[in-house]
């Protein structure tokens, strides 16, 4: 069975076939480091993480490139406002980005090229476009003539026949309605201050779109398999990337274009410009567990809009708690004869997981497979206990699923105290028996501080790990 992806370019679901059998080369548009990334951005990066991890799960060797846009209209404006150099300005945002990736368990890409370290490659690409006659000079800047590229508009489905001849845009983010010649190279002017490069093209800086064409082709070749981003990237950014790259090489740039829908807040895209955003740090400071956010961002299909709410956070916590309790339950399950029942459960989960994710990353199906497994396995464990062999199989299967999802197992920090917990519970029990309630309460409070919640039931004291 092949994996199927919805391709924005053909507007159809297509069977995935990489150019080199067994290998996938993919480019994922990365952050513009003019500020901390918001969790809308992380929806895109987590969708890409799921894609990358699933391709690996299915046996492909993946080479992923994610650019860091560290020179563009926004970064220049911001560093000028602060009166510091571009590099000084972007550094903390780059660092924070990598910290966030770790917190959200986003696996590292193979390459994170920085735009400012690839000016030479961009200049070479613009020179090719000048030689081809697709690019032209106007003043100190160089523009791409979109009427020279017959497929312009194919990705976004925009009709450019009404385009005014010679219309040009200088800003990098413009409205969907404005198809126009765009800047490949921006000649220096005063608003750029000391941000410029002296090159064969003159004194200036690259446009945003050329950054991604130059860096993707440098690391992945002139043609590669998958290119992704959020839907806001489709036009103009990805449309322009195709036009630049294909006009320069004469080859098809990318075979599969995958785009995720937006993370919304009250019906609006989460964005810096709408001031309706949360950074990851905002949420962690409010006490949100990063894995709850990972769960929320992964669990809605990537092509569906996702509304961010704090109710959603609570629901995600409850799901995580169920998964982590299950894991502990399997680890601690008593020896017994599960009579091959768990092998059947594992097989069903395995097949359903793959069937779901093969179908354009249908995550709902994959998660349903996991939760069905949790329910059936918990039941068997309660009824019969589990044989050593089936326990091993089950734990191995959870590990494999977790190589894709990365939230199935309780975080290690809370694992370390099993025996201690048991000891403290026993001490509390003894204190209660001796009617030393103050000591019993002290122990309960201490456990609570360490993330353990007690529940006194008829059959004794049970405990759970609290998610903090
Ligand atoms: P930017 O830093 O604005 O260039 O965006 C980096 C990535 O985040 C791009 O792939 C965008 O498409 C994506 N993105 C931005 N806002 C959102 C959002 N609200 N929901 C999902 N993806 C987003
Ligand atoms: Zn890009």
Q: Measured between alpha carbons, how far is residue 144 from residues 35, 185, 210, 282, 290 in Å?
A: 29, 9, 10, 40, 42
Question: 370 and 349 in contact (C-beta within 8 Å)?
Answer: yes
DSSP-assigned states of every residue in 42-90: HHHHHHHHHHHHHHHHTT-EEEEEE-BB-SSHHHHHHHHHHTS-HHHHH
- Give the phi and the psi of residue 163 in degrees, each rounded to 5: -60, 135
270 lines ligand 1 (CB under 6 A): yes
146 lines ligand 1 (CB under 6 A): no
Distance 103 CA to ligand 2 centre (A): 24
User: Atom 12, ligand 1: which residue's CA is nearest?
Assistant: 230
Q: What is the pLDDT along the chain (468 residues), one digit of tens a residue?
A: 799 999 999 999 999 999 999 999 999 999 999 999 999 999 999 999 999 999 999 999 999 999 999 999 899 999 999 999 999 999 999 999 999 999 999 999 999 999 999 999 999 999 999 999 999 999 999 999 998 999 999 999 887 765 555 678 877 766 656 678 999 999 999 999 999 999 999 999 999 999 999 999 999 999 999 999 999 999 999 999 999 999 999 999 999 999 999 999 888 999 988 899 999 999 988 888 999 999 999 999 999 999 999 889 889 999 999 999 999 999 999 999 998 999 999 999 999 999 999 999 999 999 999 999 999 999 999 999 999 999 999 999 999 999 999 999 998 755 435 677 788 888 898 888 888 888 888 888 878 877 788 888 888 888 877 765
According to the model, what pLDDT value does residue 170 have? 79
The sheet carrying 23-28 orders its strands as: 61-66, 23-28, 224-230, 254-260
> Best substitution site from 94, 230, 240, 267 to test ligand 1's pocket, by max atoms within 8 Å of Cβ?
230
Residues 6+ apart with CB under 8 A from 24: 18, 55, 60, 61, 62, 63, 225, 226
Question: 317 and 467 in contact (C-beta within 8 Å)?
Answer: yes
Q: Whats the size of the chain, residue-wise?
A: 468
According to the model, what pLDDT value does residue 420 have? 73
According to the model, what pLDDT value does residue 146 have? 92
Extract the tokens encoding 113.
Answer: 């090229």
User: Atom 21, ligand 1: which residue's CA is nearest?
Assistant: 262
According to the model, what pLDDT value does residue 415 have? 47
User: How far is residue 448's CA from residue 424's CA, in Å, rounded to a whole number?
Assistant: 12
The four Cα atoms 306, 307, 308, 312 give a dihedral, to 10 degrees, of -90
- Give the phi and the psi of residue 224 in degrees, each rounded to 5: -145, 180
Other C-beta atoms closer than 10 Å to the C-beta of 419 total 8
According to the model, what pLDDT value does residue 427 have? 86
User: How far is residue 70's CA from residue 93's CA, in Å, rounded to a whole number?
Assistant: 10
> Best substitution site from 38, 211, 227, 232 to test ligand 1's pocket, by max atoms within 8 Å of Cβ?
232
According to the model, what pLDDT value does residue 161 have? 66
User: How far is residue 419's CA from residue 305's CA, in Å, rounded to a whole number?
Assistant: 44
Smallest Cα–Cα separation from 349: which of 388, 396, 301? 396
Question: 398 and 370 in contact (C-beta within 8 Å)?
Answer: no
- Give the phi and the psi of residue 38 in degrees, each rounded to 5: -100, 170
- Which protein residues have their CB within 5 A of the ion that is ligand 2? 29, 212
Other C-beta atoms closer than 10 Å to the C-beta of 34 total 21
Q: Give the CATH number of domain 19-265.
A: 3.40.50.620
User: How far is residue 276's CA from residue 157's CA, in Å, rounded to a whole number?
Assistant: 29
31 lines ligand 1 (CB under 6 A): yes
Question: 138 and 254 in contact (C-beta within 8 Å)?
Answer: no
According to the model, what pLDDT value does residue 426 have? 86
Sign of CA dihedral 51, 54, 59, 65: positive
């Amino acid at each position: 069975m092949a994996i199927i992806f919805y391709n924005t370019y053909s507007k159809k679901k297509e069977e995935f076939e990489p150019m080199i059998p067994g290998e996938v080369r993919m480019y994922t548009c990365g952050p513009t480091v003019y500020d901390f990334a918001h969790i809308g951005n992380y929806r895109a990066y987590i969708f890409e993480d799921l894609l990358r991890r699933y391709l690996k799960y299915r046996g492909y060797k993946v080479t992923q490139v994610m650019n860091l846009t560290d020179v563009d209209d926004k970064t220049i404006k911001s560093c000028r406002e602060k009166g510091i150099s571009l590099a000084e300005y972007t550094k903390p945002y780059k660092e924070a980005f990598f910290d966030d990736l770790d917190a959200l368990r986003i696996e590292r890409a193979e390459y994170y090229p920085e735009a400012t370290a690839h000016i030479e490659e961009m200049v070479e690409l613009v020179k090719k476009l000048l030689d081809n006659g697709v690019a032209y000079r106007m003043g100190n800047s160089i523009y791409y003539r979109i009427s020279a590229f017959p497929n312009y508009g194919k990705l976004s489905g925009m009709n450019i026949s009404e385009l005014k001849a010679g219309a040009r845009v200088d800003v990098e983010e413009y409205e969907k309605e404005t198809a126009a010649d765009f800047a490949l190279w921006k000649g220096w002017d005063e608003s750029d201050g000391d941000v410029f490069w002296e090159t064969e093209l003159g004194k200036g800086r690259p446009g945003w779109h050329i950054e991604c064409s130059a860096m993707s082709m440098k690391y992945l070749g002139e043609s590669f398999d998958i290119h992704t981003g959020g839907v806001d990237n489709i036009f103009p950014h990805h449309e322009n990337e195709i036009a630049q790259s294909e006009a320069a090489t004469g080859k098809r740039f990318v075979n599969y274009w995958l785009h995720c829908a937006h993370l919304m807040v009250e019906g609006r895209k989460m964005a810096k410009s709408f001031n309706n955003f949360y950074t990851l740090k905002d949420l962690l400071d409010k006490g949100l567990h990063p894995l709850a956010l990972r769960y929320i961002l992964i669990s809605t299909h990537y092509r569906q809009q996702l509304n961010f709410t704090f109710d959603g956070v609570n629901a995600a916590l409850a799901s995580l708690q169920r998964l982590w309790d299950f894991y502990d339950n399997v680890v601690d399950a008593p020896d017994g004869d599960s009579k091959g029942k768990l092998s059947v459960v594992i097989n069903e989960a395995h097949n359903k997981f793959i069937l779901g994710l093969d179908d354009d990353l249908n995550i709902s199906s994959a998660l349903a497979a996991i939760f069905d497994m949790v329910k059936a396995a918990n039941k068997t464990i309660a009824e019969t206990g589990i044989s050593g062999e089936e326990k091993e199989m089950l734990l191995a299967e959870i590990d494999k699923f977790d190589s894709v999802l990365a939230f199935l197992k309780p975080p290690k920090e809370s694992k370390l105290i099993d025996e201690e917990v048991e000891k403290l519970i026993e001490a509390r029990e003894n204190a209660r028996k001796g009617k030393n309630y103050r000591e019993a309460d002290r122990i309960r409070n201490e456990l609570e501080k360490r993330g353990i919640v007690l529940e006194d039931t008829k059959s004794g004291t049970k405990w759970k790990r609290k998610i903090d």
